[in-house]
Structure 1
């Protein structure tokens, strides 16, 4: 069990204490959920969770003036094509670059094929002088949060737990269990690659 996580004090049920076998030193889904459940339980329509990286919901995504005031130059929509989440190059015009990921917020949806392309898009954006990126889905706590976590893991070499803690400093997030399992597998893969190096 990870230091500082006491599942006996966690309000989640004990069936969440399983490990999917990715690695014995990667926290289980239940341990991750316990950390995610704790702390601040509210979030704004948009929060800056990393320098020039904003995470938020569809309300903010539809507020083109609000995005302009924040200086947003790029938008990554993790709910592309969904009725509630408008988004396209036409919607934002020529001043904002748009990238859409057609994800469903279901534990059975495989978000992992989008981890690296989305992380690359975020990374490339943040390397442009004065660029700011807004990553969103419908609520801004599961699909989009998972893509931001993957970015921090891939490009900033944070463990999944450290990435979660970093984002939670500024925003409440709660990726669904399927996404957490996929992120655990990513964590295990990145650790293996690092150990080989």
Structure 2
């Protein structure tokens, strides 16, 4: 049930939470059932992807140096989806939140599918897209989405992405509140 007193944490508070805990990680971690978050090293290792059972790859650094995955690179065994995002606080990653959340949701609802979401290091661009997915498709508040991933992987979205995720959190909360208020109460006659 949605908390009607949901308050989006400040940017400073989010950075404090993200900075805590371990600050190193693996090349890849399963952060949600059949949803793996990783870096370019794992994304460029087709054998490891095969061993992990990866059927789909979402590259949040499409076309960037060392992250230039493609349909040709993965062949017919892996479906590829690329997002040409820069890891810059001024980059508008929010423009991709809904389409990527829809893609991730569609993949994870495909029997037997396993999805790798990656960027260069696997802590900012790709992590932001996975956070947005959890917020949009599973209605997790921003802090809960971050903590869900942090239990399994160290992440640190840049300040610009955190601001965009905060804006998404406030927008989704307001949308959920309006929907709750619009539901008519049935009154027995």
The normalised TM-score by structure 2 is: 0.91
How far apart, in 2, do the equivalents of 1:24 and 1:180 lie?
Answer: 17
In structure 1, what is the Cα distance between the partners aligned to 2:94 and 2:75? Answer: 29
**Residue 95 of structure 2: SS of its match in structure 1?**
helix
Aligned to 2:183: none
**Superposition pairs for residues 167-182 of structure 1, below 5 Å?**
167-182=149-164
Aligned-residue CA RMSD in angstroms?
1.1
Cα deviation, residue 24, structure 1: 8.5
Provide structure 2 residue ranges, at least 5 long, that are not aligned to the other structure: 180-189
1:1-197 correspondence runs (5 A): 25-197=7-179
Change (3 A) 1:55 1:125: same
| Alpha-carbon displacement from aligned partner over 1:21-66 (angstroms, at most 9, x marks no partner) | xx99210010000000001111100000000000000000000000
1:85 alignment partner, SS class: coil
SS in 2 for 1:59: helix
Secondary structure of 1:47 counterpart: strand
User: Could you say which residue in structure 2 is the equivalent of 1:10?
Assistant: none
SS class of match (1:43): coil
Which has the higher Rg, Structure 1 or Structure 2? 2
Deviations 1:87-124 (A, max 9, x none): 01000000100000000000010100100000111000
Q: Structure 1 regions of 5+ residues with no counterpart? A: 1-22
Task: Provide the rounded CA distance (Å) in 2 between the counterparts of 1:24 and 1:184.
Answer: 12
Cα 1:24–1:160 shift into 2, 3 Å = closer
Higher relative contact order (CA 8 A, sep 6+): 2
Contact preservation (8 Å) 2:123, 2:154: yes
Q: Kindly state the Cα deviation for residue 86 of structure 1 after the two structures are TM-superposed.
A: 2.2
Secondary structure of the corresponding residue to residue 40 of structure 1 = coil
